[in-house]
Amino acid sequence: MNKPKIYLLDVTNRDGVQTSRICLSKLQKTMINLYLNEMGVYQSEFGFPITHHETNYINANLELAKKGVLAPIRLSGWLRAIKNDVKLAFKLAPQLEYINLSISTSDQMIEHKFKGKLDYKSIIGEMTEAVKEGRRLGAKCIGVNAEDASRTKMDYLVEFALAAKEAGADRIRYCDTLGFDSPFTIYDRIKALADSVQLPIEVHCHNDLGMVVANSVAGAMAANDAGVDAFINTCINGMGERAGNADLVAVILAIKYASGLKDKYTLDERIDLKVGWKICKYASYAFGIPIPINQPGVGSNAFAHESGIHADGALKDSRNYELYDFEELGRGEPEIIETGRKITVGEYSGIKGFRNVYDKLEVVFKDEKEATEILELVRYANVHNQKPLVDDELNFIGKYPDIARKIFTMSPASEI
């Protein structure tokens, strides 16, 4: 039997964008998928397949996957565990292959959210019908999410998960929806769940009590100890509803360097932490949320030493006060800031300035017609993002103009 591993399933483009008072454009969500793929993240929960303003973005990204641009990362859609939602998802996005189906399972949610519309038996019935419909429509991998699993009675959680398995689910997502667990309770509960069900476990935690990374890692340890793979749900820079989700970089650092983890548990070998600095900076810019100076690995103070004793020790041997090297996160190279003349490209740019910007990016157009078409897309992209484009976004538009055009195209549905 192969040793179970810990994989990362990033939910920035689903739970991260549900953070109150912030949002990402569809181009920014696409860039995050590209960076996650470059980083070796196993799966991106990239959006909501039945939300109409996501339709073009979702299909465009599935097209990128088919072209091998977004590969080997898996792109999964989040859906309510309702049969008709699954039907609509595959109607709007026929190339969809990976889905997660979510429904609440705790007494609190059943009594005070559903308010008699669903009971314990009908919740399982709704979920199993949705799983079977996903299988019928060709889903390659189906995860079933138990929302508020941490406040769900253990015997019912096991019953729910076993029913999901029998219906054809590939994974169970244990959702600590309110950050209610501690590292000790989540270990015990996921160990019992995984022992009983023997399916890979997704660990989805929130930070309401400040324990999100510890809880996520403890849950993954429990799944591995039960002999199954674990999929930790992360968000870049710890974004997410209320106090946020498990920070992508912090989770990786914990598994790689924490006492008791680094020698016993195996992180997906495709993970390339060198992309960490780039992806965190981009997400900060896209969300418009600064990275805290004390953020693990990527904060401006993560490798800063001022105290005499600390500075002396770090200069003698970095391991005196640093568990890992800044180079491992892709840090250390000087970042050049233009202080003289700078030509930028925006929604009102002309062809001369546009050509100057793309010349510096070493992008060559075959003729003036192609350059003019890309300029028009770049103008739309600036309106779409409502902020200046970064070089990688400009390069993406130049390389995949047809995909970019789909991402920028959005129209309200005439019928819902």
Question: Which pair of structure tokens corresponds to residue 90?
Answer: 């595959």
Tell me, what's the pLDDT at 338?
A: 85
In eight-state DSSP terms, residue 37 is H
**Which distant-in-sequence residues (6+ apart) come within 8 Å of 322 by Cβ?**
303, 314
Q: How many CB atoms lie within 10 A of CB 333?
A: 8
For the domain made up of 6-287, give the CATH fold: TIM Barrel (3.20.20)
Closest CA to 261 of 302, 329, 295, 213: 213
The pLDDT, as a whole number, for residue 138 is 97
* CA–CA gap between residue 248 and residue 32 (Å, rounded): 12
Query: CA-CA distances (angstroms) from residue 234 to 84, 156, 213, 222, 396?
Result: 28, 26, 9, 17, 25
Nearest 10 degrees: Cα torsion 355, 360, 363, 364: 60
For residue 414, what pLDDT is reported? Answer: 61
Identify the CA nearest to 205 among candidates 9, 6, 5. 9
- The stretches in the chain having pLDDT less than 70 are 1, 413-416
Count of beta carbons in the 10 Å neighbourhood of residue 307: 10
Query: What pLDDT is recorded for position 413?
Result: 67
What's the confidence (pLDDT) of residue 116? 87
Q: What's the pLDDT score for residue 7?
A: 98
Angstrom distance (rounded) from CA 162 to CA 198: 9
Distance CA 196, CA 199 (A): 9
How many residues make up the chain in this entry?
Answer: 416
Kindly tell me the sign of the dihedral angle through the C-alpha atoms of 398, 402, 406, 409. positive
Amino acid at position 339, single letter: T
Residue 179: per-residue pLDDT: 98
233: nearest Cα among 258, 251, 209, 257: 251
Residue 65, H or E segment: helix 55-66
